[in-house]
Amino acid sequence: MKGKAKKKGTSSREQVRARSHVENIHDAYKMSAKLSDPAVCSECGAVYRRGRWIWGARPAAAVRTVCPACRRIQDRFPGGVLHLSGPYLAEHREEILGLVRSQEAREKAEHPLVRIMAITDKADGVDVTTTHSHLVRRIGDALYSAHRGELHLHYVDEDPAIRAEWRR
């Protein structure tokens, strides 16, 4: 493996693996065992087939269950939170929220468990809560690419969720 090693002699790849291990232990919404195949989410209609959740026709003999994303939504326990703020947000609100929704649509089309839970107005901006940390990162990167500003990502080792802030 090429590249310089990080602190304490570990490579960045090893750090990612270590972080993934911590996430798997602490993420109560990650499935610990495979479901009966096929299964269908009674809330959103996503289908569990061959070890993964997909969008598709409901098989007649499918076991009914609730997918991890719908469980997160029911429990109001987000996998990520993105806080948007600043005077630029107020001036370009609809354009920015359109970009947020389009990023979700692109991701959700291929990955049913990756969704926006809520878009909530706050006194100092807007909070976007998601079912998965990757969507927060994707939205933040898209906002930064399209509108610049400041993007800050906060990962907590004990928590699989991500907290991010975008401001302009």
- Distance from the Cα of residue 48 to its chain's centroid: 19
Distances (CA, A) of 75 to 21, 53, 62, 80, 117: 24, 20, 24, 14, 11
Residue percentage of the chain with pLDDT more than 70: 79
Q: What is the pLDDT of residues 38-71, one digit of tens each?
A: 999 999 999 999 999 999 999 989 999 999 999 9
Model pTM score: 0.79
Name the more confident of 12 and 73: 73
pLDDT digits (tens, 9 = 90+) for 73-104: 999 999 999 999 999 999 999 999 999 999 99
- Split at pLDDT 50, 70, 90, the class of 28 is low
Q: Contact, 13 vs 1, CB < 8 A?
A: yes
Tell how strand 80-85 and strand 63-65 pair up: unpaired
